[in-house]
Amino acid sequence: MADAKIPLLYIASSSYSGSTLLAFLLNAHPEIFSVSEMHGWEYSERETFHCSCGQVLSECRFFRHVSAEFARLRLPFAFREFGTRYRLVRGDQLNRYLTAQLPRVSSTPLERLRDVLVVSVPSFARRLAREDAANLAFIRIGLAYGEARVFVDGCKNPFRLRHLRRIAALDLRTVHLVRDIRGFVLSNKAKWGWPAAVSARIWLQDQADIVRIAPEVGPVLTIHYEDLCDRTDDTLASIHRFVGVEQHPFCGDFKAVEHHILGNWMRHAERGVVTKDTRWEQELPPEDIAAVTAVARRFMRRHQDHPLTHPPLSDRRPGRQCPRGHGSIAVS
């Protein structure tokens, strides 16, 4: 059917939750194509950034093809700025307030009002329309290149879904990828030195935003990073069913197929094997666990009807996943 919508599976998650791994695994399916973070990678001018295929990004076969196609379509494209990021202004913080999260408030009505105000500014409306066109072009180019029919966008941030929703040609659905909060806390501590309580609050905010926003645009499937690693085939099969492709078990090396993934260190590894990162179990000190527990308990007390809070705390054990499929605030 010429007018059939393009299935787009969006990976919504916090950082350090396995989205690069999931994008690699899904890209290994013959009917699925992904570059993971399709809004591009912000590397510095002096940095040499490599695609997962091993080439410098500007020499990568796929991204050179995207560049040529964008030029043909008269869409701006640079290897450090694809034009798909929904960037209205230069400053990151101001751009976030205009296109994603408002400062200090999470309110769908206020965000809707903000969105109406933003599109009432002609230059912003033109920019959003151009970025919509760029995103759709990127998706079509990727699917044609990969001879696939389902596109996976691994940009993680749920607010991006509201922009993609404007693109009428897309059939959106979301996989909400959840990793144990303590893994997220350790990763932030190791990379940025953030205190455990701060990371725990960010994780809860991320999860609450995903739970609030993703259902607005289409069906949501929640999966856990730990299941993706421990029961890879079953977990992939549930996602394959969710997007309507045949089940395709993991072949043992997700790099055995052509790949052009923008994501974490995993893109440099020689072989594509699934390795579960549970370093938090050894490396996160008791005081950090206690801080995470305190923040999570406070959240659950204040938000007793929130999907992240179910099932009741008494049903949880440390490290166990929530059977209702949402948060992994199992820290008691």
The residues of the shown chain that bind Zn ion, judged by CB under 5 A, are: 51, 53, 60, 62, 260
The least distance separating Zn ion from the CB of residue 148, rounded to whole angstroms, comes to 16
CA dist 58 and 80 (Å) reads 9
The least distance separating Zn ion from the CB of residue 62, rounded to whole angstroms, comes to 5
Percent of the chain that is helix, strand, coil (3-state, to 5): 50, 10, 40
The least distance separating Zn ion from the CB of residue 81, rounded to whole angstroms, comes to 17
Structure tokens at 154: 């691994």
Would you say 164 or 261 has its CB closer to Zn ion?
A: 261
| Upper half-sphere CA count for residue 306 (Cβ side, 13 Å) | 23
CA dist 172 and 10 (Å) reads 7
Would you say 7 or 142 has its CB closer to Zn ion?
A: 142
The least distance separating Zn ion from the CB of residue 60, rounded to whole angstroms, comes to 3
The least distance separating Zn ion from the CB of residue 4, rounded to whole angstroms, comes to 28
Q: Cα separations (Å) of 121 from 46, 69, 90, 221?
A: 35, 29, 16, 35
Concatenated DSSP letters of 16-65: TSSHHHHHHHHHTSTTEEEEE-TT-----TT--PBPTTSSBGGG-HHHHH
Give all strands (DSSP E) within 112-242, no chain letters.
Answer: 150-156, 170-178, 220-224
Would you say 54 or 249 has its CB closer to Zn ion?
A: 54
Would you say 63 or 203 has its CB closer to Zn ion?
A: 63
Alpha helices in 73-150 (DSSP H): 92-99, 108-119, 122-146
Would you say 62 or 203 has its CB closer to Zn ion?
A: 62
Would you say 62 or 86 has its CB closer to Zn ion?
A: 62
Identify the helix (H) or strand (E) that includes residue 301.
helix 286-302
The least distance separating Zn ion from the CB of residue 221, rounded to whole angstroms, comes to 28
